Amino acid sequence: MHCNDQHHHENKNYSRRDFLTKTSLGLGALSLGSLISPVNAYGQSDFLNLLDSSKMKLPHFIPKAKRVIYLFQSGAPSQLDLFDYKPKLNEMFGKEVPKSILGEQRLTGMSSGQNSFPMAGSLFKFNQHGQSGAWMSELMPHTAKIVDELCFIKSMYTNAINHDPAITMIQTGSELPGRPSIGSWLSYGLGTDNKNLPEFVVLVTKGKNGQPIYSRLWGNGFLPSQHQGVQFRSGKDAVLYLDNPPGVTSGIREEQLKSLKKLQNIQHADIGDPEILTKISNYEMAYRMQTSVPEVMDISDEPDYIFDLYGEDSKNPGTFAANCLLARKLAEKDVKFIQLYHRGWDQHSNLPKGIKRQANETDQASAALIQDLKQRGLLEDTLVIWGGEFGRTNYSQGMLKPDNYGRDHHPRCFTVFMAGAGVKKGITIGATDDFGYNIAERPVHIHDFQATLMHLLGIDHEKLTFKFQGRRYRLTDVHGNVVNEVLA
Amino acid sequence: MLIEFLDFLGSLHPLIVHLPIGIILLTIAIDVFMRNKNNSVQRVITMGWFFSFFSGLLAALFGWFLGDNGYYFESQINIHRWSGIAFVGLCFIIWLLRYINFRFSKSFNRSVNLTTILLLMVTGHFGGEMTHGQNYLFENLPYVQKKISLIPLSEAKRSETDSLFVYEDLVYPVLEEKCIACHNQNRAYGGLNMSALESMVKGGNSGAGIQNGKPFESLIYKRVSFPHDHPKFMPPSGVPLSYDQIVTLEWWIDNGAEKQMPVTLARNDPKIQRLMELQYGLDLREKTYLETLALASPTPEELKPIQGEEFIWRFLNPEQSFLDLKFTKKEIETNDLLKIQSIKKNITWLNLTDCMLNDNHLSYLIDFSNLTRLKIQKNPLVTNKGMEALQNLENLTELNLYGTRVSNAALNTLGQMESLKKLFLWNTRITAKAIADFKAQHPDIEVIAGF
């Protein structure tokens, strides 16, 4: 390599004396730094191993779950109309939220200017279901039938008050973009269970409006890029640009990739950029996916009773129900992290109508997925999660009418439910106050939730790290405690 | 009578001990800071040494009585006692030398002063440790991490939760720290000797120490749980028992105060279990078979046969001894099953789904003794005959048979497998009625056969 002289112009008038005077102290400090470094203090190898997760033996303990299906409900479903039954709000329908409950904390710009914060009890009927007696609204009749399989966390809370930072937070552990997504961390930590499919697959419900979903949510951040999520689309090309161009046979493509790999290996030997290896593995994965993806996307041999279980929508590719069915197929193929996104839960106004439509689209298929996994024995080692990025307010955004209201963003409490591997069945963890505004019992932060998820997969969330920009990062960064009450 | 009086004098030790400290410091200060000392100043200094000696003698004497009453361990007192006596002796010698007008050189005088102050500091420090606790000196410094005082359970003991006993590991160490100094076979105050369980149960002059199963009627429990200003509250001095220690004691007596009561009994009581987890750092959750199994990691030689594309496997634990292995091809052959024989002890999860597995193949799994989870679903060639081979898998907890051709008769075989906890029978030839009967017979086996 040639040095460009222009880059060195500043050094032209640097005398030996300058050099010695200006660097002697610095060199001293450098050597002092190495003398008192914790690496030497703690005994080199152990300390380094603790920090370097590539040398850690994963999993850190015997896992309960081998894979995760995350049914992400983007836009934040209203916990008050689905799971978190608050008769007090109906009793006090239209009255102001008491000052003592509201507190001093921020509201979004969308409702902070309101003169009044009238409490809006849910228009939907709640009932207790199953032996566990879990409360569910009439919006989710199918899920209500399987509550004894579920573990509700009603005391989730997050930091962010708006969609983008909140989704980024729950997916990557940080409100700021740029960190790896949960699925990427798992791929990086645990590797693959099926060499023909990516470890991290993303399915987005087609044709939905609402808050945008974008690929950095399943991005690998600073992890090597083979750990990024791969979106499988509905329709002809599940993965874009996977098929060979017309006239190129599989044999030619294989030859081409082999030659390319040779060139890339030379390049890697020369400059040692790890992303070159990533590139090679991505090409190879794409080649294997040419046969494995069409196979897994093909639902033609599913019997009718399976379509009946998931609902009529499941025959229509790209719907939430069809994606749930696909998620099961991917789970059968041992894909490690299957992330579904369903948009459209952001009901600032006209909530009763909107949430009815949303529930209709997701309820049956979500319940069906859990049942289907169970009868196949997959629920033993698959963790299913259902939930959004934050909750919704107990007061109405905009005008409260007897039959119509809207709800604003509410990060202070929301509900998610989980089912499957290593999770207690038929229980509810945490509780909100009678107004459904603040958490009354066992708060669970996003980072606690993430730590628990990793724990179920056999990972100590404090030990899976990646060094980037001079420090070691984790999914939960410096936060997070495993929610032991969840563990079976 | 005499003993009680000596105890009273002993309790005056902390009061009187500060007299010599003050006097000697003032004396030395005069000596050091006054220039041009005339005769009367010299006499004041001599007098100072005398009063230091005299008040020090009283303090040492009272201290001796205090140390003798049994509240303190000899190892704690030792340095304090002897450095204190050395201090008194030194004061006496210096006073005597000054009294007979022995000429002090300047340097000798200086080193005498220095030695005295050092002795004073050593004595004071170790005295302070006894009254204020071992870390009194630095514990309130900012940036010093405060230690939570746990009953010292070694790391080794903590990991062996199953072999811990309540009395030996949790109760006795507390008694030893708080009670046994005064209640032992040599010095049984109130006639009570707590150094052995039997004599503690028997009790002392006031009656039985422990009433089995009745903590609130047991004197031992009552004395430590009285209000602190109650005249019979125990221990009479020092740090009282903590809430957790008292609750542990109560729980132990409540459950019969047996010597052999295992700590794992706490699993029956969520409150106690939580306390054990928080206070003693114990993990009391029920351990699975795998968690108790120590197994060597397979050698690279043993792993060689499974390096091919037909297997995907990974280790399940950081010790790298348990294997989760999956067969990936569409058709399995006998040869494939021969390949995994070298690591059969290590395979704990085995997945042979949808690979044309037949009954004959299953006989190769007959001695996979550590197999806990076996997935052989979607293999239509598997029938009742194959179940006989599985019968010997004595640690199998989970068996997935959905999509196989097992029928009602298979349940007879499966019902005899004692370790079995979960059985997946969806889409088999087993009838709903047979499943219902099986569930009634084996309530501890969860059978999942579709919805």
Contact assignment for A193 to B290 by CB distance below 8 Å: no
Rounded CA-CA distance B51/B44 in Å is 10
Closest CA to A69 of A319, A323, A327: A327
According to the model, what pLDDT value does residue B152 have?
Answer: 60
* Cβ atoms B350, B373 nearer than 8 A: yes
**What is chain B's mean pLDDT, rounded?**
88
CATH number of the domain enclosing A184: 3.40.720
Top-confidence residue, A458 or B145: A458
* Cβ atoms B420, B439 nearer than 8 A: no
Q: Does A485 touch chain B (CB under 8 A)?
A: no
Name the residue of chain B whose CA is nearest to A57's CA.
Answer: B318
Report the residue from A59, A62, A63 with minimal CB separation from B291.
A62
Tens-place pLDDT, residues B62-120: 999 888 776 666 777 889 999 999 999 999 999 999 999 888 888 999 999 999 999 99
Token pair listed for B215 = 């903590």
Q: Is the dihedral of CA A26, A27, A28, A33 positive or negative?
A: positive
Q: Does A193 touch chain B (CB under 8 A)?
A: yes
User: How confident is the model over B432-448, as a mean pLDDT?
Assistant: 93
Minimal CA separation from A315 to chain B, in Å = 21
Q: Predicted ipTM?
A: 0.84
Task: Flag whether pLDDT at B132 surpasses 80.
Answer: no
Please report whether residue A477 resides in a domain: yes
Contact assignment for A59 to B424 by CB distance below 8 Å: no
Residue-by-residue pLDDT tens, chain A, 488 positions: 344 444 444 445 667 776 666 666 665 555 555 555 444 444 444 444 444 445 567 899 899 999 999 999 999 999 999 999 999 999 999 999 999 999 888 888 888 889 899 999 999 999 999 999 999 999 999 999 999 999 999 999 999 999 999 999 999 999 999 999 999 999 999 988 998 999 999 999 999 988 899 999 999 999 988 899 999 998 778 888 888 889 999 899 899 999 999 999 999 999 888 888 888 888 989 999 998 999 999 998 999 999 999 999 999 999 999 999 999 999 999 999 999 999 999 999 999 999 999 999 999 999 999 999 999 999 999 999 999 999 999 999 999 999 999 999 999 999 999 999 999 999 999 999 999 999 999 999 999 999 999 999 999 999 999 988 888 899 999 999 999 999 98
Rounded CA-CA distance B98/B104 in Å is 8
Other C-beta atoms lying within 10 Å of the C-beta of residue A432:
26
Contact assignment for A377 to B375 by CB distance below 8 Å: yes
Please report whether residue A28 resides in a domain: no
Q: Does B322 touch chain A (CB under 8 A)?
A: yes
Give helix A163-172 / helix A446-456 axis angle, nearest 10°.
30
User: How confident is the model over B163-190, as a mean pLDDT?
Assistant: 84
Please report whether residue A342 resides in a domain: yes
* Cβ atoms A429, A444 nearer than 8 A: yes
Report the residue from B317, B324, B448 with minimal CB separation from A61.
B317
Report the residue from A62, A191, A377 with minimal CB separation from B290.
A62
Rounded CA-CA distance A285/A292 in Å is 10
Token pair listed for B211 = 């009433």
Tens-place pLDDT, residues B383-431: 999 999 999 899 999 999 999 999 999 999 999 999 999 999 999 999 9
| Range with lowest mean pLDDT among A367-371, B21-25, B38-42 | B38-42
Contacts of A61 in chain B (CB under 8 A): 317-318
- Let me know the angle formed at the C-alpha of A177 by A175 and A183, rounded to the nearest 5 degrees: 90
* Cβ atoms B327, B310 nearer than 8 A: yes
Closest CA to A359 of A424, A311, A327: A311
Q: Which domain range does residue A370 map to?
A: 67-239+299-486
* Confidence class for position B289, pLDDT limits 50, 70, 90: confident
Report the residue from B316, B326, B377 with minimal CB separation from A377.
B377
Beta bridge partners of B262: B165
Token pair listed for B199 = 């004599």
* Cβ atoms A261, A218 nearer than 8 A: no
Q: How far is CA A382 from CA A34, A93, B42, in A?
A: 46, 41, 90
* Cβ atoms B417, B393 nearer than 8 A: yes
Q: Does B402 touch chain A (CB under 8 A)?
A: yes
* Cβ atoms B349, B321 nearer than 8 A: no
Q: How far is CA B3 from CA B17, B60, B65, B179, in A?
A: 21, 17, 9, 19
Beta bridge partners of A466: A473
Number of structural domains chain A divides into: 1
Token pair listed for A121 = 């009890």
Q: What contacts A266, CB < 8 A, 6 or more positions away? A: none
According to the model, what pLDDT value does residue A43 have?
Answer: 41
Rounded CA-CA distance B408/B385 in Å is 12
Rounded CA-CA distance A126/A147 in Å is 14
**DSSP for B336-384, written as a single string:** HHHHTGGGTTTEEEEE--SS---HHHHGGGTT-TT--EEE--S-TT--H
> In A99-130, which positions are buried (b, 16+ CB within 10 angstroms) versus exposed (e)?
eebbeeeebeeebeeeeebbbbbbbbebeebb
Contact assignment for B424 to A56 by CB distance below 8 Å: no
Other C-beta atoms lying within 10 Å of the C-beta of residue B38:
8
Q: Does the pTM of the predicted model rise above 0.80?
A: no
Rounded CA-CA distance B47/B40 in Å is 10
Please report whether residue A158 resides in a domain: yes
Rounded CA-CA distance B124/A109 in Å is 65
Tens-place pLDDT, residues B198-210: 999 998 888 899 9
137-156 in chain B: CB under 8 A from chain A:
none
**DSSP for A226-254, written as a single string:** GGS-EEPPSSS-SSTT-SPPTT--HHHHH
Minimal CA separation from B217 to chain A, in Å = 36
Q: Does B291 touch chain A (CB under 8 A)?
A: yes
Q: Does B438 touch chain A (CB under 8 A)?
A: no
According to the model, what pLDDT value does residue A41 have?
Answer: 45
Please report whether residue A121 resides in a domain: yes
Rounded CA-CA distance A303/A203 in Å is 22
Minimal CA separation from B293 to chain A, in Å = 12
Give chain A's end-to-end CA distance (angstroms, integer).
59
Mutate to test the interface with A, among B313, B317, B377 (most CBs of A within 10 A): B317
Pairing between β-strand A427-429 and β-strand A150-157 as defined by DSSP bridges: parallel
Beta bridge partners of A388: none
Pairing between β-strand A431-432 and β-strand A427-429 as defined by DSSP bridges: unpaired
> In B225-264, which positions are buried (b, 16+ CB within 10 angstroms) versus exposed (e)?
beeeeeeeebbeeeebbeebbbbbbbbbbbbebeeebebb
Report the residue from A58, A190, A376 with minimal CB separation from B377.
A376
Please report whether residue A24 resides in a domain: no
According to the model, what pLDDT value does residue A4 have?
Answer: 41
* Cβ atoms B423, B447 nearer than 8 A: yes
* Cβ atoms B399, B377 nearer than 8 A: no
Rg (CA), chain B: 37
Tell which phi-psi region holds residue A334, choosing left (phi > 0), alpha (psi between -120 and 50) or beta. left
- Let me know the angle formed at the C-alpha of B191 by B188 and B196, rounded to the nearest 5 degrees: 60
Please report whether residue A383 resides in a domain: yes
Q: Which residue has the tokens 């001599």?
A: B46
Q: How far is CA B207 from CA B176, B200, B202, B231, in A?
A: 21, 10, 8, 17
Report the residue from B315, B324, B450 with minimal CB separation from A375.
B450
Contacts of A380 in chain B (CB under 8 A): 373, 398, 422
Q: What contacts A333, CB < 8 A, 6 or more positions away? A: A194, A196, A197, A292, A296
Tens-place pLDDT, residues B322-350: 999 999 999 999 999 999 999 999 999 99
Rounded CA-CA distance B283/A210 in Å is 46
Other C-beta atoms lying within 10 Å of the C-beta of residue B70:
15
Beta bridge partners of B188: B183
Top-confidence residue, B211 or B188: B211
* Cβ atoms B340, B333 nearer than 8 A: no
Please report whether residue A81 resides in a domain: yes
- The proportion of chain B whose per-residue pLDDT surpasses 90, expressed as a percent, equals 58
Beta bridge partners of A135: A128
**DSSP for B198-209, written as a single string:** HHHHH-BTTB-S
Top-confidence residue, B156 or B24: B24
3-state SS class at A67: strand
* Cβ atoms B309, B276 nearer than 8 A: no
Max CA-CA distance within chain A? 86
